[in-house]
Structure 1
Amino acid sequence: MISYNPKEWLSFIFYFHKGDTFRKLFWIMILIALYSGGIAYLELVYWNLSANSLVKNITIMHNMLGFVISLLLVFRTNTAYDRWWEGRKLWGALVNNSRNLAIKLSVMLKDKEDKDFFRKIIPAYASVLNLHLKMESISHELFDDKTLSQDHYKHKPNQIAKTMIQRVNELYEEGKITGDQLIVLNAEIQSFTDICGACERIKNTPIPYSYSAFIKKFIFTYVLTLPFGYVFQLGYYVIPVVVFIFYVLASLELIAEEIEDPFGNDPNDLPTQKISENIQKNVEELIY
């Protein structure tokens, strides 16, 4: 995720980062400009159509459809942002739950070996969940005698949650924690799995294909028909106007595409790696 000062307007206007929509749409904008120029030449020079021809009436359609497409894009971007913000709230909950679990364990446990175990494994859950959501390989070692690379464990966050539950149950059987403490700790660890499942729901359930495809087709159809009517009012100035309209509409769709999956490596995705590192710092401060 890009860190920035929202009050620095000039940096927004003149700086183009690698995820900027202008870079992604540059060559399509060039093609749209050539297309618009070709339509302008055909209507004004080759066919020598007048402003009173029936073609000019197509602007009426654009006036009506412009309102419709704006509503669709507003709904699209709001839906995508809701997914992005829900992901941020889930990782905020993971931070708080990790802290709460660490606080309770630091008070309940007396054995240094037990404390060291949870001091490592609690931050490991956030780190592995980060890689799991990004669909990256997870093979680093948790402990000297246990790794996350076993073939029979396909879901690595579940493996860590199971290991924590197993260790807490062993502490209860050994008499190191009471039954009431066992219930409290189990609830905290269960919340980790709940957060993981909610993040996977966002990750694995994109916007319906037909809806996303319809918006893209709508944008292209709308933009490609713009030169036919407005060329009589704007002349060859229709070229930059059509290109700019396409840039605005297509950029909104690209932004929505990027933020609807907030767990990747795109510039506007959530900083889950940094959050994982903060969880590790917090847990190491609490359990000692």
Structure 2
Amino acid sequence: MLLIGIYSGIVAYLELEYWQLSDTSYVKNITIMHNMLGFVISLLLVFRTNTAYDRWWEGRKQWGNLVNTSRNLALKLSVILQDKDDKAYFKKVIPSYASVLEKHLKNKEVSLQLFEDVDLEIDHQKHKPNQIAHAIFNKINELYKAKKISGDELIILNSEMQSFTDVCGSCERIKNTPIPYSYSAFIKKFIFAYVLTLPFGYVFQLGYYVIPVVVFIFYVLASLELIAEEIEDPFGDDPNDLPTEKIAKNIEKNCIELLN
């Protein structure tokens, strides 16, 4: 912004004081180009920001779905199961899916402390959320074979089991499909070229006031692009990313309350 202000001041000085182009009509007509391009750039930025926000909101909806799925599974198992050891297993494993998924999306290592009280080994070379989902389904199947869960109850639990994988797949789709680089690069070049040509036309109407005006326009346009870049990947540790770690801890709290 400081450099844009200095650049605008230099252009204003050259046109008004050095070249004295105030009576040159063809220079004044540059504003017509800005009026036409301003509409185009506004459409591009609106589309860019909306696309990035849709990715952020889709990620939030999927994690909201994970919260509901974990609660529903814990609620149903708390009623169906009578053995305390079985409940203790799910009290540990169900919230661990959210914790493992959160680290999986951030490419972090999974802490072995998550599974201290559970007979479960995680292969770090394989897809970790799938291993947790497999362990949950395998335990439910064992309980079915042991006659602790009926066939009807197994069918009731199936929707929650499927939802785990659906949430994971949707989050991976958002993470692994970024906005095309060519599209983002074009908007940056467009903003830069648009702002650099602004002082040439408007300096005759605004005089040296063109300096703060151009700086403010650059601030608005560049900020919209930076906001879109900030939120298009919602699974990180930036301030504007989704609070997935907090959501995972909330899931753990809810599951413990339901299965105690």
Same fold by TM-score greater than 0.5 = yes
- Name the SS of the counterpart of 2:29 in structure 1: helix
The alpha carbon displacement at 1:180 in A equals 2.1
Which residue is 1:281 aligned to?
Answer: 253
Write the letter of the residue equivalent to 1:197. Answer: G
Which residue is 1:25 aligned to?
Answer: none
- Name the SS of the counterpart of 1:142 in structure 2: helix
Which residue is 1:23 aligned to?
Answer: none
- TM-score, length basis structure 2: 0.94
Match among 69, 79, 82 for residue 54 of structure 2: 82
Unaligned stretches of 5+ residues in structure 2: none
Write the letter of the residue equivalent to 2:46. Answer: V
Which residue is 1:168 aligned to?
Answer: 140
Write the letter of the residue equivalent to 2:42. Answer: S
Which residue is 2:151 aligned to?
Answer: 179
Give the 5 Å matches for 1:198-237.
198-237=170-209
The alpha carbon displacement at 1:95 in A equals 0.7
The alpha carbon displacement at 1:186 in A equals 2.8
Which residue is 1:119 aligned to?
Answer: 91
Q: How many residues align?
A: 258
Which residue is 1:263 aligned to?
Answer: 235
- TM-score, length basis structure 1: 0.85
Q: Does 1:107 align with 2:79?
A: yes
CA gap of 1:270–1:151, structure 2 versus 1, over 3 A, is closer
In 2: Cα distance, 1:30 partner to 1:189 partner: 55
Q: Does 1:49 align with 2:21?
A: yes
The structure that is helix-richer by fraction is: 2
Write the letter of the residue equivalent to 1:146. Answer: L
CA gap of 1:74–1:220, structure 2 versus 1, over 3 A, is same
Cα deviation code 1:135-169 (max 9, x no counterpart): 22223333335343x3432x211111111111111
Task: Report if the CA contact (8 A) 1:36-1:238 is conserved.
Answer: yes
For the aligned residues, what is the CA RMSD? 1.5
Q: Does 1:152 align with 2:125?
A: yes
The alpha carbon displacement at 1:272 in A equals 1.2
Match among 101, 110, 116 for residue 138 of structure 1: 110
CA gap of 1:146–1:221, structure 2 versus 1, over 3 A, is same
Unaligned stretches of 5+ residues in structure 1: 1-28
The alpha carbon displacement at 1:185 in A equals 1.9
In 1: Cα distance, 2:85 partner to 2:108 partner: 31
Write the letter of the residue equivalent to 2:89. Answer: F
Percent identity between matched residues is 75
Which residue is 1:14 aligned to?
Answer: none
- Name the SS of the counterpart of 1:268 in structure 2: coil
Task: Report if the CA contact (8 A) 1:132-1:157 is conserved.
Answer: yes
Which residue is 1:67 aligned to?
Answer: 39
The alpha carbon displacement at 1:43 in A equals 1.6
The alpha carbon displacement at 1:191 in A equals 0.5
In 2: Cα distance, 1:200 partner to 1:277 partner: 21
- Name the SS of the counterpart of 1:264 in structure 2: coil
In 2: Cα distance, 1:61 partner to 1:151 partner: 57
The alpha carbon displacement at 1:276 in A equals 1.0
The alpha carbon displacement at 1:46 in A equals 2.5
In 2: Cα distance, 1:90 partner to 1:151 partner: 24
Q: Which moves more between the two structures, 179-188 or 62-71? A: 179-188
Q: Which moves more between the two structures, 181-190 or 101-110? A: 181-190
Cα deviation code 1:58-100 (max 9, x no counterpart): 1100011111111111111112111111111111111111111
Write the letter of the residue equivalent to 2:41. Answer: I
- Name the SS of the counterpart of 2:11 in structure 1: helix
CA gap of 1:259–1:244, structure 2 versus 1, over 3 A, is same
